[in-house]
C-alpha cells in the first residue's frame, strides 16, 4: 500500500473524530454564547458548566426513530444526509494545520475545497426535494439561488489571494505569509477578507443568511421532515462546514499556522476558533435578511467589489512582476 | 449623483453592524439576569399579587381587623367571598339578669357579640384578583398575599377559609417565638 494512501486514511479517521468532537463543542459554545448574550446562563445542568449537554443531545438524536414522510422519495431521502457529510471530511484534507502537518499535499488545494464545498448545496437540494414537503422544497429552492450566488464572490476573493501568493497550494500560501500579523494576507487584501467572510456566512447558511432553514418562515427549511440522526447529520455538517470556511479564511488571510511564540497548530486552532466565535456572535447579533436583500447584497455589492478587487490585484501583481522580477 | 450618494450611505451604514456587535458584546460579559430557581429564588416576591389574605390587628397580628360587615362579599364581581358572622355568645344568668334590668330601665343594650368573622370563605378558583373587595373594606382588613407557591391537585384545593389560614399562621409563628426567646435569654 502506498504511504500516501495510508496517510490519507489515517487523517480521514482523525478528521472524522475531530469533526465529531468539534461539532459537539460548537453546539455547546453556540448555546452558551447565545445564552450569555441574552443574559441567560445557557446549558448548565448536565456536567460542569453544561459541557455534557451536547453529548446528551447527540445520544437523544441517535435514539430517535428515523421517520420518513408518506410519498417521499426513499432513495434520495436517505442519500441526502449521507451525501451532506461525506464531502465535508474531504474538505479537511488539504488544510495545513501546522508546518508540514496536512493530509494531502496537493497543489490545487483551494480548488479542491471550493469544488467539493458545492456538494453541501447539492445534498440540501436533494433532501429538500425528496421530503415531499412544501417548506423543505422552498428551503431547497432558496439554497440553490443562495449558494450559487455566494459561491462566486467567495471564489473571486480567494482568487485574489492566490494571485498574490502565486499558488493554489494551501501550504505554500501559508509559507508565503510571515509570522507577524502585519505580514498576513489580510493586510494586503482587506476587502477580499471582508467579502470572503460575508460570502462564507452565505455559503454555510449561517445567520444572518440562514434563509434555507429560516425557522420563522419555513419551520426548519430543507431539513423539515428529517428526524433523529437524519437531522443530526445536517446539523453536524453545518458546524463542520463552518469550521472549514473558518480554516480556509485562516489559511488564506490570517497566516495559517504562522504566529509568534506558540507552536503552529495551536495558532491555527486559536485563529479558527476566534473566527468561529465571531460567526456565532454574528448569528446572535444580526437579524435575518430578506431574500431580495440577500441577493442584492451579493449581486450589487459583493460581486462588483470582488471583481474590481481581483482586477486591481491582477494589475498590481503584473506590474510588480515587470518591475521587480526580470 | 443620487446613486453615488446612496451607495456612500449604504457603506457608512455598515457602522451599525459594529454598534450591534458592541451591544451583544457588552451583554455577553455582563452578569446574567437569570436566577437558577430551585437553588435560588428571586428577591422580588413582594411584588407578587397572590390570593387574598386577612390583615391582622395592630395589637394582635393574628386576630383579623375584619368586622364582618360583608362589604367585600357584596362588591365581589365573581361572588367568591362568603363572610360567616359569629353567633352571639350564650349569656350567663347574671348577664341575662343585667340585660333584663337595663331593658326595664329603658337603656340600650350593647351587643356583646365579637365582630370578627367566624369564617371567611374565599374561592380562589373564581377570584379574578380585581381588588374591589380591598377597596370596599372599611377597616382595611384585606390584602393580596405574596404567596407564589400556591398549587393544588383539584379545584377544591383552592377553597380557602382565611380565618383558618390566619390561625394556622399563628400556630406556625408561636412555637418559633417560644423557641427564639429562651435562646435569646441564654445568650444574654
CATH for B66: 3.30.70.3270
Contact list, B31 vs chain A (CB under 8 Å): 39
| Candidates B20, B25, B32; nearest CB to A41 | B32
Inter-chain residue contact B28 with A33, CB threshold 8 Å: yes
Domain count, chain B: 1
* Rounded distance between C-alpha atoms, residue A252 and residue B96, angstroms: 108
Tell me whether residues A41 and B33 touch, CB distance under 8 A: no
What pTM did the predictor assign? 0.76
Q: Facing residues of B160 across strands? A: B122
Query: Residue A270: which domain range?
Result: 68-324
- Domain assignment present for residue A35? The answer is no
Q: How far is B12 from chain A (nearest CA, A)?
A: 14
In-domain check, residue B22: no
HSE-CB for A31 with a 13 A CA cutoff = 17
Q: Is the peptide bond before A307 cis (omega within 30 degrees of 0)?
A: no
Residue A7 lies in a domain: no
CB contact under 8 A, B34 and A41: yes
Pick from A234, A240, A233: nearest CA to A221: A234
Whether B25 sits inside 8 A of A281 (CB atoms) is: yes
Contact check, Cβ <8 Å, B27/A36: yes
Q: Supply the pLDDT for residue B171.
A: 82
A188 is a domain residue: yes
What per-residue confidence (pLDDT) applies to A119?
81
Domain assignment present for B185: no
Domain count, chain A: 1
Does residue B27 form part of some domain? no
Say yes or no to pLDDT of B187 above 50.
no
What was the pLDDT predicted at B179?
57
According to the model, what pLDDT value does residue A307 have? 92
Of A37, A41, A286, the CB nearest to B27: A37
Please indicate, yes or no, if residue A20 is contained in any of the structural domains: no
Which residues form the domain of B129?
Answer: 49-178
Does A33 contact B33 at a Cβ distance shorter than 8 Å? Answer: no
Does residue B141 lie in a domain region? yes
Compute the nearest-CA separation of A311 from chain B (Å): 21
Looking at residue A308, its pLDDT comes to 92
Q: Does B184 reside within a domain? A: no
Question: If you measure CA to CA, which chain A residue comes closest to B16?
Answer: A286
Return the half-sphere exposure (C-beta side, CA atoms, 13 A cut-off) of residue A64. 16
Q: How far is CA A174 from CA A42, A60, A96, A269, in A?
A: 37, 41, 8, 14
Q: How near does any CA of chain B get to the CA of A291, in Å?
A: 18
Strand-pair partners of B52: B144
Residue of A38, A197, A201 to mutate when probing chain B, most B C-beta within 10 A: A38
- Cβ <8 Å between B32 and A36: yes
CA dist B176 and A38 (Å) reads 43
Query: Average pLDDT, whole number, for chain B?
Result: 82
The model's pLDDT over B61-91, given as tens digits with 9 standing for 90+, comes to 778 888 888 888 899 998 888 888 888 777 7
Report whether pLDDT(B182) > 60.
no
Query: Which residues of chain A fall short of a pLDDT of 50?
Result: none
Instruction: Give the distance from residue B114's alpha carbon to the nearest chain A alpha carbon, in angstroms.
Output: 55
Here the cell at position B22 is 458592541
Amino acid at each position: 500500500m502506498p504511504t500516501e494512501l495510508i496517510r490519507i486514511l489515517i487523517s480521514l479517521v482523525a478528521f472524522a473524530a475531530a469533526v465529531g468532537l468539534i461539532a459537539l463543542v460548537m453546539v455547546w459554545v453556540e448555546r452558551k454564547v447565545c445564552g450569555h448574550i441574552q443574559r441567560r446562563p445557557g446549558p448548565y445542568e448536565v456536567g460542569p458548566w453544561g459541557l455534557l449537554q451536547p453529548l446528551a443531545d447527540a445520544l437523544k438524536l441517535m435514539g430517535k426513530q428515523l421517520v420518513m414522510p408518506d410519498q417521499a422519495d426513499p432513495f434520495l431521502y436517505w442519500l441526502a444526509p449521507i451525501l451532506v457529510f461525506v464531502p465535508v471530511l474531504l474538505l479537511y484534507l488539504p488544510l495545513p494545520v501546522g508546518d508540514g502537518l496536512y493530509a494531502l499535499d496537493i497543489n490545487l488545494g483551494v480548488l479542491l475545497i471550493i469544488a467539493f464545498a458545492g456538494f453541501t448545496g447539492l445534498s440540501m437540494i436533494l433532501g429538500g426535494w425528496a421530503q415531499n414537503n412544501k417548506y423543505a422544497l422552498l428551503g431547497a429552492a432558496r439554497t440553490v439561488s443562495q449558494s450559487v450566488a455566494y459561491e462566486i464572490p467567495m471564489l473571486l476573493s480567494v482568487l485574489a489571494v492566490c494571485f498574490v501568493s502565486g499558488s493554489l497550494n494551501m501550504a505554500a500560501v501559508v509559507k508565503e505569509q510571515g509570522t507577524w500579523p502585519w505580514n498576513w494576507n489580510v493586510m494586503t487584501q482587506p476587502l477580499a477578507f471582508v467579502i470572503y467572510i460575508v460570502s462564507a456566512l452565505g455559503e454555510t447558511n449561517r445567520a444572518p443568511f440562514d434563509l434555507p432553514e429560516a425557522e420563522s418562515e419555513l419551520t426548519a427549511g430543507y431539513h423539515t421532515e428529517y428526524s433523529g440522526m437524519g437531522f443530526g447529520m445536517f446539523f453536524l455538517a453545518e458546524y463542520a462546514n463552518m469550521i472549514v470556511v473558518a480554516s480556509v479564511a485562516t489559511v488564506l488571510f490570517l497566516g495559517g499556522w504562522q504566529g509568534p511564540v506558540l507552536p503552529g497548530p495551536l495558532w491555527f486552532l486559536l485563529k479558527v476558533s476566534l473566527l468561529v466565535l465571531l460567526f456565532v456572535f454574528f448569528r446572535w447579533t444580526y437579524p435575518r435578511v430578506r431574500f431580495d436583500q440577500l441577493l442584492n447584497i451579493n449581486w450589487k455589492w459583493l460581486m462588483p467589489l470582488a471583481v474590481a478587487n481581483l482586477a486591481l490585484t491582477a494589475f498590481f501583481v503584473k506590474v510588480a512582476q515587470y518591475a521587480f522580477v526580470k | 449623483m443620487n446613486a453615488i450618494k446612496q451607495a456612500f450611505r449604504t457603506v457608512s451604514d455598515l457602522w451599525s453592524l459594529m454598534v450591534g456587535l458592541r451591544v451583544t458584546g457588552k451583554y455577553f460579559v455582563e452578569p446574567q439576569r437569570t436566577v437558577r430557581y430551585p437553588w435560588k429564588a428571586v428577591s422580588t416576591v413582594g411584588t407578587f399579587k397572590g390570593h387574598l389574605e386577612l390583615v391582622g390587628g395592630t395589637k394582635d397580628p393574628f386576630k383579623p381587623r375584619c368586622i364582618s360587615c360583608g362589604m367585600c362579599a357584596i362588591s365581589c364581581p365573581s361572588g367568591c367571598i362568603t363572610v360567616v358572622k359569629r353567633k352571639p355568645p350564650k349569656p350567663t344568668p347574671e348577664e341575662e339578669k343585667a340585660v333584663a334590668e337595663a331593658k326595664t330601665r329603658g337603656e340600650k343594650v350593647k351587643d356583646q357579640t365579637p365582630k370578627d368573622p367566624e369564617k371567611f370563605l374565599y374561592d380562589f378558583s373564581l377570584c379574578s384578583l380585581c381588588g374591589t373587595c380591598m377597596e370596599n373594606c372599611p377597616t382595611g382588613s384585606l390584602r393580596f398575599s405574596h404567596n407564589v407557591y400556591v398549587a393544588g391537585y383539584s379545584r377544591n384545593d383552592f377553597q380557602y377559609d382565611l380565618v383558618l389560614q390566619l390561625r394556622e399562621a399563628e400556630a406556625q409563628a408561636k412555637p418559633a417565638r417560644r423557641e427564639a426567646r429562651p435562646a435569646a435569654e441564654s445568650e444574654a
